[in-house]
């Protein structure tokens, strides 16, 4: 059927398939019965065509690092199935997920959106996620291919990575997604790879992806990530997104006529687009692109289960789980206590069905809610709290707010991110809008108004220009680098008095290379000071237990900018110090998208890392704290003692964050625990670490043979739950070469198994090690090579806790081609 359609297409029609119709849909060809399909952002939900801050509600699942912490492929596959249902509820046939870039620095703004520092763990979870999504007839899109481990200058930066590091660390998740999961789509990254944009990189997109790995799906650009006509098509980029086209259309037709692009190249790319439509069933059933909210009880239960399964207990001096009977007075303190920080920022954002804060979850879990006292203590938000309340928005043609509005609509949040405008008469590059709202403070005092805008804007309070986001506007660090740095201004407000807030916005007249967006965000807050800190301390002093909720939020952990350091922002470290000084039973609950430094660690009784676990945050937290569920997580990323211990952090800016448009991955394959183990640098918490609420005894590891065979070696170990409650234990298998002709990591993760056992129950973990698991990528032969000789198979509870070491022999050198189908 595909060839028949292609035969009947004109060149112009074939070309039309190679760019989006708009922000979210492909181009249809009605005369040939070719429908259009919709794509939707993931990976922790399915947003649909709504903006990043609005749209139809959707189920909000845990972020990827929280999934990485589960080490539970079966559960992640179940999430993939659920997400496919969510995508269908938004009329979408393609989910733009999963994200499988590697945790390199710990400062990457999208660290939360990626699974792990380890390619094997990343690949295992990505394969499960893809298989779940695609089992329901929805295409998954693995991203970002490749070398996108930082958000700094991400649209132009060249990630300079040698081929060995690429083959061993950064490409395996993509390789396994193709070879094991049959992923239907790949998204190229914004950055350049060794000097060439990935969207026009023939070695990456054609030689490696298609010729070596056998990928037969589509390659699409990241949004606005295509920079050329001829180079992208010839390199293997099938679909330019979003539409309408900038680089294709008549430009590509002309390039074919001029002989710069072969007609068969266009036909092959168009054929892959048609094949995608066929695979998602678009020819059989015309896609219904309408959107609706789908809030299913089974999704709620799965999100809650995933939240607990990914929770990592980092420290426990016997205080957890808390016993509800006789618990006494509980102080719930911190900037993340009453706020539900359920997801990171950027394109992963969705409009969640609901968000349960830790305070709400704890109150629901305890029968005596009167025993709970709450105090914030301090703030941790990077931007001023967004305005919340009724407002009216009027839209005008042109950029001067003149004439009668062509559209008007109500809103209840002071953040607007326009993918689609409310009237077809409005031009996204030539419109203006006026937002009118009223604010009545409950306390008198100094308030701060803040605004950031992609485009130009001014904020007035009772007719007075207070925040000027117009004069001297320059690009800053918000909205993927398209908006200015937040402008702030303080003003005294009286309690009970109503103030009119007017924001006047106009789209920018200047269109720059790269992403161009229209957005504005404004807010108001009363700063917290010493009195609020003192209130939190006194609340803790009067309590039997202090539960301290600290960390970051989606303004810090976000696409578009990297973190400044690994410290808790604001006065949170001071809050921990002062609370723990007056209450010996202090439990810290962290919410971050990656590692942090913990100078206060020795002063608290317990530390629980919850990440951003989705809409059931508060319930999952309460489940773990009170023992209704165990903390099932293990770290998917090393937590260094200090930022300087990370392999990417040196005195050379060219290694991180980059210099003169290049960031050099000088550490090679020594990323994460590979760096700490091999260089002898003790971590704060090692890769794979996590405590539980029960105890396990381990037997000695056994192997099916002590000589590597073509089909591999099976390794088994028996575990027994010797505690008094059910729990899970994670068995990690590392390979250590005992002799090597090239520098290799001390050990590398090659398999894992997670067992859940009842008290007294015995179980067996079975793991398979194959010849490639002994190998490294040989730069001379351009193949994976396992030298003959001795290797150790290490069974471990984490990267520094080895329980068994078994020596095996590789009797003869093994060479694995990059095109081998079985890996």
State how far the Cα of 352 lies from the Cα of 39, in Å rounded to an integer: 19
Cβ neighbors of 491 (< 8 A, separation 6 or more) are 446, 447, 449, 461, 466
Residue 811 CB burial class (10 angstroms; 0-12, 13-18, ≥19): exposed
Q: Residue 434: name the closest of 401, 461, 464 by CA.
A: 401
State how far the Cα of 94 lies from the Cα of 38, in Å rounded to an integer: 7
State how far the Cα of 458 lies from the Cα of 434, in Å rounded to an integer: 10
State how far the Cα of 190 lies from the Cα of 206, in Å rounded to an integer: 17
Q: Residue 363: name the closest of 60, 541, 621 by CA.
A: 621
State how far the Cα of 27 lies from the Cα of 273, in Å rounded to an integer: 10
Give catalytic status of residue 222 as yes or no. Answer: yes
For 17-54, the DSSP string reads: TTBBSSSSBBPPBGGGTB---BEEE-SSS--TTS-TT-
CB 24 within 8 A of CB 244: no
State how far the Cα of 140 lies from the Cα of 509, in Å rounded to an integer: 36
State how far the Cα of 100 lies from the Cα of 170, in Å rounded to an integer: 9
Cβ neighbors of 389 (< 8 A, separation 6 or more) are 412, 437, 438, 439
SS3 718: strand
Alpha-helical (H) ranges within 489-597 are 530-541, 572-582
Q: What are the helix and strand counts (H, E) for the chain? A: 17, 36
Q: Residue 277: name the closest of 34, 500, 454, 602 by CA.
A: 34
DSSP state, residue 558 = B
State how far the Cα of 382 lies from the Cα of 378, in Å rounded to an integer: 13
Q: Which of 41, 222, 299, 778 is catalytic?
A: 222
CB 129 within 8 A of CB 116: no
Count of CB atoms situated within 10 Å of the CB of 699: 15
Per 3-state DSSP, the chain is made up of helix, strand and coil in percentages (nearest 5) of 25, 30, 50
CB 396 within 8 A of CB 431: yes
Q: What are phi and psi of 389, to 5 degrees?
A: 155, 170
State how far the Cα of 101 lies from the Cα of 550, in Å rounded to an integer: 26
SS (H, E, C) 114-176: CCCCCHHHHHHHHHHHHHHHHCCCCEEEEEEECCCCCCCCCCCCEEECCHHHHHHHHCHHHHH
CB 523 within 8 A of CB 453: no
Beta strands per DSSP E along 495-554: 499-506, 519-525, 545-551
For 310-358, the DSSP string reads: T-EEEEESS--SPPSTT---EEEESTTTSS---S-BSTT---BS----H
CB 745 within 8 A of CB 798: no
Residues labelled as active-site residues:
222
């Amino acid at each position: 059927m595909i060839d028949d359609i292609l035969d009947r297409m004109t060149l112009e029609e074939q070309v039309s398939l190679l760019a989006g119709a708009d922000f979210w849909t492909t181009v249809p060809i009605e005369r040939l019965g070719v429908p259009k399909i919709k794509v939707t952002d993931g990976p922790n939900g399915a947003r649909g065509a709504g903006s990043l801050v609005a749209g139809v509600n959707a189920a909000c699942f845990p972020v990827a690092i929280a999934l990485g912490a589960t080490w539970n492929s079966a559960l992640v596959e179940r999430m993939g199935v659920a997400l496919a249902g969510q995508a269908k509820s938004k009329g979408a046939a393609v989910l733009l997920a999963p994200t499988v870039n590697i945790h390199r620095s710990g400062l990457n703004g999208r660290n939360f959106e990626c699974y792990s520092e380890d390619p094997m763990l990343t690949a295992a979870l990505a394969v499960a996620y893809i298989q779940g999504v695609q089992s329901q007839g929805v295409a998954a899109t693995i991203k970002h291919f490749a070398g996108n481990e930082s958000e700094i200058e991400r649209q132009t930066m060249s990630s300079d990575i040698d081929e060995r590091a690429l083959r061993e660390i950064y490409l395996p998740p993509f390789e396994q997604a193709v070879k094991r999961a049959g992923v239907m789509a790949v998204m190229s990254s914004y950055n350049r790879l060794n000097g060439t944009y990935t969207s026009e990189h023939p070695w990456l997109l054609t030689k490696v992806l298609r010729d070596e790995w056998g990928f037969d799906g589509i390659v699409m650009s990241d949004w606005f990530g295509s920079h050329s006509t001829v180079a992208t098509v010839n390199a293997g980029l099938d679909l330019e997104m979003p539409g309408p086209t900038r680089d294709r259309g008549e430009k590509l037709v002309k390039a074919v006529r001029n002989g710069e692009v072969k007609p068969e190249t266009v036909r092959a790319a168009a054929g892959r687009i048609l094949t995608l439509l066929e695979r998602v069933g678009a020819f059989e059933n015309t896609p219904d692109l309408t959107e609706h909210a789908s809030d299913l009880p089974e999704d709620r239960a799965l999100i809650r289960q995933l939240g607990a399964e990914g929770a990592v207990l980092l420290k426990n001096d016997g205080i957890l789980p808390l016993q509800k009977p006789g618990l006494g007075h509980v102080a719930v303190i911190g900037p993340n206590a009453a706020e539900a920080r359920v997801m990171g920022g950027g394109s992963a954002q969705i409009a969640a069905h609901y968000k349960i804060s830790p305070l709400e979850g704890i109150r629901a879990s305890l029968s005596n809610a009167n025993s709970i006292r709450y105090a914030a203590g301090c703030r941790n938000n990077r931007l001023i709290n967004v305005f919340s309340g009724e407002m009216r928005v009027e839209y005008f043609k042109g950029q001067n707010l003149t004439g009668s509005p062509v559209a008007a609509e109500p809103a209840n949040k002071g953040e607007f991110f326009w993918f689609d405008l409310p009237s077809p008469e409005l031009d996204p590059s030539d419109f203006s809008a006026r937002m009118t709202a009223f604010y009545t403070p409950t306390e008198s005092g100094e308030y701060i108004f803040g605004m950031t805008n992609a485009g130009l804007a001014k904020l007035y309070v009772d007719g007075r220009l207070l925040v000027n986001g117009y004069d001297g506007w320059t690009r800053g660090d918000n909205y993927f680098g398209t908006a200015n740095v937040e402008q702030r201004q303080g003003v005294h407000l009286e309690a009970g008095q109503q103030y009119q807030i007017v924001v006047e916005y106009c789209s920018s007249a200047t269109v720059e290379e790269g992403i161009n967006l229209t957005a504005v965000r404004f807010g108001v807050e009363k700063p917290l000071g010493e009195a609020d800190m003192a209130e939190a301390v006194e609340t803790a002093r009067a309590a039997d237990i202090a539960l301290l909720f600290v960390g970051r939020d989606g303004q810090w952990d976000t696409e578009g900018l990297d973190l400044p350091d690994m410290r808790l922002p604001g006065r949170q470290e001071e809050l921990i110090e002062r609370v723990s000084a007056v209450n010996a039973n202090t439990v810290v609950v962290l919410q971050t998208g990656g590692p942090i430094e913990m100078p206060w660690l020795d002063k608290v009784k317990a530390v629980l890392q919850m990440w951003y676990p989705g809409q059931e945050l508060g319930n999952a937290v309460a489940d773990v704290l009170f023992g209704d569920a165990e903390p099932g997580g293990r770290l998917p990323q090393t937590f260094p003692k200090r930022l300087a211990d990370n392999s990417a952090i040196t005195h050379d800016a060219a290694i991180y964050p980059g210099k003169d448009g290049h960031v050099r991955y000088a550490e090679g394959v020594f990323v994460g625990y590979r760096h700490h183990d091999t260089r002898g640098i003790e971590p704060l918490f090692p890769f794979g670490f996590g405590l539980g609420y029960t105890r396990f005894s381990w037997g000695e590891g056994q192997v099916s043979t002590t000589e590597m065979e073509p089909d591999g070696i099976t390794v088994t170990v028996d575990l027994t739950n010797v505690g008094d409650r059910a729990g899970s234990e994670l068995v990690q298998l590392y390979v250590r070469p005992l002799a090597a002709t090239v520098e290799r990591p001390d050990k590398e993760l090659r398999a894992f198994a997670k067992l859940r056992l009842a008290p007294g129950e015995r179980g067996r973990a079975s793991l398979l090690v194959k010849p490639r698991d002994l190998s490294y990528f040989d730069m001379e032969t351009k193949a994976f090579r396992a030298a003959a000789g001795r290797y150790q198979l290490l069974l471990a509870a984490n990267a520094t806790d080895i329980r068994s070491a078994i020596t095996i022999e590789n009797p003869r050198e093994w060479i694995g081609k990059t095109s081998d189908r079985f890996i």
